[in-house]
Amino acid sequence: MVDFAQVQSKTGFGAPERFEGEVADCEVLGRIPKDLDGSFFRVGGDFLYPPMFHDDAPLNSDGYISAFRLNNGRVSYRGRYVRTRRYQNDLAAGRQLYGYYRNPYTDDPSIRDPEHPNLRTVSNTTPVVHGGRLFTLKEDGLPHHIDPLTLETKGTWDFDGQWKSQTFTAHPKLDPLTGEMVAFGYEASGLATNDVYIATVGSGGRVTHEMRVKTPYMTMLHDVAVTHRRFIIPMCGYTTSLDILKAGKIHWWWDNSKPAYIGVLSRTGDGSDIRWFKGPPRCMMHTFNAYDDGDKVVIYAPFWDGNFFPFFPNTDGTAFDPKRARAFVRKITIDLKSKGEGYEEEILYPFPVVDLGKVDPRALTLHNRYGYTSFADATRPFDAAHANGLAQGRANNCYGRFDFHTGKFDAYFAGPTHTLQECSFVPRPGGHEEGDGYLVGVAQNYAEMRSELIIADARDLAAGDVARVILPFRTSAQVHGIWASAQELA
């Protein structure tokens, strides 16, 4: 028997979704572009059972994948839990058996297994399609192989035994020129280890190249960047140790004294060429993109000033500081000819954004112009009468197209009772120019307690959406989403 009464966000939009369902033919406002043939996959977390500990991270919630299938102007929807081992064990027991986020020492004795922490992954972070296969990902375990139509879980995926890490990142990079997937795993050899496994998977789904490196200190490596030639590892002050975990504590702690590092190495070497560049403490979570500029590497990223996860404590005992938990669009330039260990950082826009940035996937690894992410514009209309708990100012009510070359930006506004989740860029079929396509993403409509898929013309965001797909219910929050064309899935 389940009782969410002790969970902080048991009601309203923050309440767990907890159901699996489908809509055969979605209601649509506007017109679905007829040339869109494919699926928008979303992955997020949704607690099947309340977490064991009240101060646990929402990152510990059960993986849930949903898909909007667009074809010939019609849209169907489906959502399913990922059938991880944890999901199955919990459902059989009828209760939460798993303890803190990524701390197996806190699990129920019936399933406790610290030697295989990857078996307790919730696979709740990212969908990816590569080699015609759909996977859900979370950085503490292996990919889960998902049927792209039914969203049924087929099992975990280790690339026929070729993947040599216990873990697989939530942020593999797809090289648009080679069709390769460049991926990695950290804590690759077990809990609190600082070794990183990096591998390239060819378009046929086979591991074609691999490398191993170690980070200057043990840390979270959530995202990386990949250029046409190089692999880039930003890392920052989240740390842990086996002692911390064995003591039954939270996995990650933020160390304000730790410098940020950015590692650069060739994609095709053995890892021994890695160079670490050092900067002031900075929380480096997601990247937009990176590219080679001769002997320089340029990284676009919405990095944070400091710890932005309020549920990961500071090691120095200070309280969480919301002023540091702000992300800005940054351009980082690393000169590989320099003898020093520093790098240049420039803030491109003076206002904070959400750090879930995307680029046109055709421009990934290349010298791109545009980045896309959501942000809160408190000057936009706000409907307090139908806010249902939504807070003005905190609401991510806009998608922005950020022009890294000119410093300009264009914005899409979702509405006075809406918040926006991460957007994804969909290249217009037949188009070739960077930025020619659609932005898609889910809006939460607080007034109606429902979710809506937004489809906007990425080159005319101010014009509003071209279509909205109505779900007659609220979905739980997406972490990351991707667009996959029908062709990619065929």
The residues binding a second copy (CB under 8 A) are 1-5, 11-12, 15-29, 31-32, 48-49, 73-74, 77, 81, 91, 94, 448-449, 470-474
Query: How far is Cα 202 from Cα 204, in angstroms, rounded to an integer?
Result: 5
Cβ 448 to a second copy shortest distance, Å: 6
Q: How far is the CB of 38 from a second copy (least distance, A)?
A: 17
Phi, psi of 340 (to 5 degrees): -75, 180
Which residue from 373, 441, 440 is spatially nearest to 411, judged by alpha carbons? 373
Distance CA 359, CA 59 (A): 24
* Choice between 20 and 270, CB closer to a second copy: 20
Least distance to a second copy from the beta carbon of 7, Å? 10
Choice between 17 and 223, CB closer to a second copy: 17
Task: Provide the 10 A C-beta neighbour count for residue 45.
Answer: 24
Q: How far apart are the first and last CA of the chain?
A: 41
Cβ-based nearer residue to a second copy, 6 or 406: 6
What is the spatial distance between Cα 179 and Cα 109, in angstroms, rounded to a whole number? 44
Contacts of 435 (CB under 8 A, 6+ apart): 360, 369, 370, 401, 458, 459
Q: Which is nearer to a second copy, 1 or 319 (CB)?
A: 1
CB of 73 to a second copy, least distance (A): 5
Distance CA 254, CA 238 (A): 5
Q: Which is nearer to a second copy, 6 or 257 (CB)?
A: 6
Of residues 63 and 237, the one with the C-beta less far from a second copy: 63
Instruction: Decide the pairing of beta strands 238-239 and 465-470.
Output: unpaired
Rounded to a whole number of angstroms, the minimum distance from the CB of residue 474 to a second copy is 8
Which of 156, 164, 128, 153 minimizes the C-alpha distance to 43? 128
| 8 Å CB contact between 324 and 303 | no
Smaller CB separation from a second copy, 72 or 379 = 72
| Distance in Å, CB of 112 to a second copy, minimum | 22
Residue type (1 letter), 155: G
- The length of the chain in residues reads 490
Distance CA 176, CA 228 (A): 9
Minimum distance, C-beta of residue 71 to a second copy, in the bound complex (Å): 11
Alpha helices in 185-267 (DSSP H): 242-246
Residue 416 CB, shortest distance to a second copy, in Å, is 15
